[in-house]
Structure 1
Amino acid sequence: MPATVLDQPAIDERLAARHPGWAGSPAKLTRAIEFADFPTAVEFVNRLAPRCEELDHHPDLGLRWRWVDVELSTHSAGGVTELDLTLAEIVDEVAATLPLAD
């Protein structure tokens, strides 16, 4: 059975429990994370990658200086599904283990 794209009220409800940096629509979830420095941003990506592999779901990541931009969407479903919200939780867990910018 294909994954179901969530509507805006469902996304808003679920993001309320996440880090306040998350924004979302039925098309995608986004969060920009500013780390203490560039090596820490790279470390975040390195720690996140195996968790994504375990889930078999992969975010779109943009790495620049000490920032990582995260975009989540289930491309095969055409938007945000429960899988993306699960991955958002993992992103928050991994980011919380590393030093963020002051």
Structure 2
Amino acid sequence: MSKLSEQDIEKYLLRFPDWTYSNNAIHVEFEFDNFKDCFSAMSRIAFECEALNHHPNWTNIYNTLSISLSTHDAGGVTKKDFKLAEAIETIVEVQE
């Protein structure tokens, strides 16, 4: 899978208004009502990551989940990252 240009990344990001692009990755932060809801979303996201064989860099502090997506083999953001971002958005939207 080939790395997307910054122009293409900006076009894709129009569909993901909460996501930003910097340092060769796309980033988002979600805040949940509590740790349990945050961890539940992380667990559901993990299953999707395994299905796509694509894994995020993420951190969790109490009720906040920060995610960065980049395709390491390509050295930046690819369509694979946006496919996972779309799945993450669907999971988090259902959670809310």
What TM-score, normalized by structure 2, do the two folds share?
A: 0.95
RMSD after superposition: 1.1
Structure 2 CA distance for aligned equivalents of residues 8 and 76 of structure 1: 17
Structure 2 residue runs without a partner (length 5+): none
Whether 1:54 aligns to 2:51 is yes
- Tell me what 2:11 maps to: 13
Output aligned runs, 1:1-102, within 5 Å: 3-18=1-16, 20-25=17-22, 27-99=24-96
Deviations 1:12-47 (A, max 9, x none): 1111012x2100147100000011111111001001
CA distance in 2 between partners of 1:97 and 1:15 (Å):
21
C-alpha distance in 1 between matches for 2:18 and 2:34: 19
Q: How many residues align?
A: 96
Q: TM-score w.r.t. structure 1 length?
A: 0.89
Residue identity in the other structure for 2:45: L
Please state how far the C-alpha of 1:97 moved relative to its aligned partner: 1.1
